[in-house]
Chains A and B, each alone.
Chain A
Amino acid sequence: GAGVSQSPSNKVTEKGKDVELRCDPISGHTALYWYRQRLGQGLEFLIYFQGNSAPDKSGLPSDRFSAERTGESVSTLTIQRTQQEDSAVYLCASSHRLAGGPHEQFFGPGTRLTVL
C-alpha cells in the first residue's frame, strides 16, 4: 500500500470492554506515532516508536493504554476496560527517520472509537 492504513475504521464498544486498534505504517518507515483526537480538539500525543529503541510512552494517559510494535512493522494500540472518555479518533502516523533532519509524518485515516 502507498499510505498508512488503520483498522478498523470505526469501533463501537461497551464500557469496560478491551479494544485493539491496528496501524500498518508505510514500508521502510522506522518511526511510528499514535495520537488521540477528541471531537473538536487538537491531536494528543500518545506513544512513539523509533526502530528498536525503547518507545516514548510519555503521552499514554493511563495504564489502561498500551501499544506494541514488532520491528518496523505493524503496531497495535490496546485500551483495556474502556471508559466513555476514551471515545475519540485514534490516529497513527509513520515517518522515515533521517539523521539530523526533519522528516515528514504521514498520517493514517484514523480509527473512530465510540464507547457506550
Chain B
Amino acid sequence: KNQVEQSPQSLIILEGKNCTLQCNYTVSPFSNLRWYKQDTGRGPVSLTIMTFSENTKSNGRYTATLDADTKQSSLHITASQLSDSASYICVVSSLSGGYNKLIFGAGTRLAVHP
C-alpha cells in the first residue's frame, strides 16, 4: 500500500534554532518527492521538488534530502523564524498510467516560539 509517514507529528522549537523533519514512504513507482508548507487557514505552498536522481535541494533556509534507496527524506530548517510556524507536508508522486497521483503525509506541525 502506498503510504507516506512523517515524524514527529508536532514540534516546538525556539526562534533561531535548527530542526529536522522526517518523511518515510512506501510508494511505487516513485516519480518525485515534494515538501510543502501550509500556514493555518491557507493552501499548501511548495518548498522543494526532488526527483529520483536528486539527493539534496535547498530553498533559502530550507534544505531537503532524499535517499531513494531507503525511501527516506528530511527537511532541515536553519535558523528558524517565527514565520516558520506552520504544517510541513511531505508528498510523494507516483506516475502511473499517465496519471500523476500524489500521496500526502499527515504533516508535521511546527511551532517556533520567541
Binding site for B on A (CB under 8 A): 4, 31, 33, 35, 41-45, 48, 50, 53, 56, 91, 93, 95, 97, 101-110
Contacts and interface: CB of A to CB of B under 8 A. Distances in A.
B105 A42 contact: yes
Nearest to B103: A45
B104 A102 contact: no
B44 A107 contact: yes
Contacts of A109: 42-43
Interface of B: 31-32, 34, 42-46, 49, 51, 89, 93, 98-107
B101 A45 contact: yes
B39 to A, nearest CB: 11
B43 A110 contact: yes
A50 B31 CA distance: 17
Given A41-B106, A42-B107, A107-B43, A102 B31 contact: yes
